[in-house]
Amino acid sequence: MNMPQEPDLSYIGPRDKAEILAQALPYIRQFHGKTMVIKYGGNAMTDPALQADFAEDVVLLKLVGMNPVVVHGGGPQIETALNRLGKKGHFIQGMRVTDEETMEVVEWVLAGQVQQDIVGLINQAGGKAVGLTGRDGGMIRAKKLTLTDRDNPSINHDIGFVGDIVSIDPSVVKALQDDAFIPVISPIGFGEENESYNINADLVAGKLATVLQAEKLLLLTNTPGVLDKAGNLLTDLTAREIDGLFADGTISGGMLPKIEGALDAAKSGVNSVHIIDGRVPHALLLEILSDQAFGTMIRSH
């Protein structure tokens, strides 16, 4: 994978460069030694220039003393692989029905191709990334997800090997962090019979941020953040305000699992959750090391 050319920053004078670094310093000091859980997805994951920006951002955060942990999805890549095999994707209420053969493909795509691409990008940018799934170190115990029918609550849909998180044991992640590695985690859990489950990556990131007592949870998306009904960006919300946006239908569709995971984390002790626009170059650094908002911040109270 070729890295794009570095941008030419020679036009920025030394004084301006010093000013930029000085502005980042309070944030570096504030978050030194703190864990940042980052859900990596959307355009940032498929556009080569944004991929390189993301890898550089993660490496820089590690170098200045923070502990980034990356959780990734891979919906489009799974879809491509299934199409190649002639398997038609079937969805119920937005959830992919995952039979045994589909689960094999999911595991192969997420834990193989997608994860190793991300590990490679981070290593190429000068970091030391290590790929994990929820099986490694017994990290993510899961059970079969029960999907209740939206219109008739007495009906439960069987969507196969889609999982619900039972518990997360973060000890393998902590061990890697202490050794200067950057964990890259595929959202695959295991059940009591050693079966594999595909789990929503936003929910894994949210739960992992909670058990790691992360300072921040950052969710990279293809939207500017949470929008109100008029389409304006809501930059700062409390958990209570989010509950109100659920109730009146402002938040719906694909944003629901994202926000549910975010809300759970905010209510469970993660200091702040950021839903940020991954289409903005270096969105991650700008969100953490400046007072510029590139999305929606959800505070616990």
Indicate the annotated binding residues.
Answer: 74-75, 96, 198
* % helix, strand, coil for the chain, step of 5: 40, 25, 35
Closest Cα to residue 131, out of 164, 102, 107? Answer: 107
Binding-site positions for substrate read 74-75, 96, 198
Tokens for 29? 């000091």
- Sign of the C-alpha dihedral computed for residues 214, 134, 44 and 161 taken in this order: negative
AA letter at 198: N
Cα 11 to chain centroid, rounded: 34
Residues β-bridged to residue 162: 198
CA distance linking residue 173 with residue 247, whole number of Å = 36
Contacts of 92 (CB under 8 A, 6+ apart): 147, 157, 159
DSSP state of 110: I
Length of the chain: 301
